[in-house]
Amino acid sequence: MKIKTLFLVILVSGLVFFSEKINAQDIHYSQFHAMPLLQNPALTGHIAGKFRLNLIYRNQWLTINSPGIYNTPGLSGDINIPSGVSRNSWGMGFFITNDQSASGAVRKINGGLSGAYHFNLDAYEKHYLSVGIQAGMIYSAIDFTKLNFGSQFNGLTIDESLPSLENIENDSQIIPDLKAGITWSSYFSDRFNLKVGWAYFNLIEPKEVFSITGELPARMAFHGEMEISVGNKMMLVPRLNYMIQAGASNATGHLVWKYAIGSETQIAIGGGLRNGDAVIGLLGFEIKGIQINLGYDHNISGLNVATNGVGALEIGVQYTGKSKPKAEAYQPAIRFY
C-alpha cells in the first residue's frame, strides 16, 4: 500500500471512528455558479431563458490513489413559469448529487425538488426579490469491507486479516433534507447588474448513525455576483461564495473575463481562490445556449504533502432553452443571469 494511502487511512479512521461524536459536512464545488440550485434554492427558475439543465463532475485528489477515489457528479434542471401577476414568475426544478469517497466505500446521494417565486418590484423590471425552498432525501452508505482501521495496522502496514474492532450499527440510512434561500437581483443598466443571496441548508439538522452518532449541522451561505460590461464585447464577472458550517468557514472568490466572439458565442477565462485551500483556474466556452466550463484546483493547504498540489478537476455543462419572443415582457427571469 502506498504511503499516501496509508496516511489517509489512519487519518480518516482516527477522525471518524475514534471520536465520541462527529459532524458531517456538505459537498462543495469550486465552480459554485455552475450548479445554481445547490448554491441557493431561490435561484430555481432564475434563468436567462425558459429552462436550464446543469451537469457537473468533480474528481478530487487525483494523486493520492486511483482517479476514482473522490468524485462528485451532479445534475439539476429547472424551468421558469409566468405567474400572470405583476410580471412575477415561478421556478420549479430538481437536483441530485452522488458524492463518492475512498474509491466508493463511502457514498452519499442527495436529491430532491426545488421551488421558488420571483417578485418583480418595480414597473421598469429592474429589481427582483426571489424566495425558494427545497425538500429531498439524503442516502448515506458505507461499505466497511473496503475500509481499513487503526487496529489493522501491524506496525509496518495494514493487515486486512486483523479484526477492525468496530461496533457497526448501520451501513446505510436515509434522512430528510430541507433548505431555503432568498436572493435580490438589480439591473441598473445594460452594462451593470448585481445579484446577492443568502441560503440556509440542513434546516432540521438530521442525525447520521453508523458506528457512532453524528449530525449534519446547519450551513449558511452568502453569495454575490456582478456583471460589468467593458466596451461592446467584454465583460468582467466577480463572484463570491461564503459558507459557515459547524464552526468552520469557507470563502471562494472568482474573477472572470468574458469576450463575445459573436452574437451567441463567447469565451471566458478567469481564476479564483478558496481561502487557505486552493488556487482555482477557470475556462469556459458558450455557443447557442450551451456552456462548457472547466475548473482546476491547485492545492495550497497542508494536504499538499500528499497531493503534490493536485487538487481537483471539474467539468460542467449547462444548456439554457430560449423563451418565445412574445413571452419576454412577462418573464422577469429573462433578465436573470
C-alpha span between 191 and 280 (Å, rounded): 27
Give the CATH number of the domain where residue 273 resides.
2.40.160.40
User: Partners of 131 in the beta sheet?
Assistant: 117, 182
Which pLDDT value is given to residue 224?
97
Q: Which of 164, 199, 165 is nearest to 181 (CA)?
A: 199
Are 278 and 296 contacting, i.e. CB atoms less than 8 angstroms apart? no
Give me 262's grid cell: 459573436
Edge-to-edge, what's the strand order for the sheet holding 22-23? 22-23, 213-215, 207-209
Please identify which residue in the block is written with the cell numbers 431555503.
180
Amino acid in the structure at residue 102: A
Are 6 and 147 contacting, i.e. CB atoms less than 8 angstroms apart? no
One pLDDT digit (tens) per residue for the chain, 337 residues? 444 444 444 444 444 443 344 455 577 899 999 999 999 999 999 998 899 999 999 998 776 655 557 899 999 999 999 987 778 999 999 999 999 887 667 889 999 999 999 999 988 889 999 999 999 999 988 887 777 777 777 777 877 777 776 766 678 889 999 999 999 999 998 899 999 999 999 999 887 766 555 677 899 999 999 999 998 899 999 999 999 998 889 999 999 999 999 888 999 999 999 998 899 999 999 999 999 999 999 888 777 666 676 778 999 999 999 876 543 433 444 444 3
Please identify which residue in the block is written with the cell numbers 421558488.
116
Strands (E) located in 37-171: 51-60, 71-82, 89-101, 106-120, 127-142
- Write down the pTM of the prediction: 0.83
Give the total number of structural domains in the chain: 1
Following CA atoms 142, 314, 131, 331 in sequence, which dihedral angle do they give, to the nearest 10 degrees? Answer: -140
C-alpha span between 55 and 319 (Å, rounded): 9
User: Partners of 71 in the beta sheet?
Assistant: 59, 100
Domain interval for residue 207 = 3-335
**Strands 106-120 and 127-142: what pairing?**
antiparallel
Give me 171's grid cell: 451501513
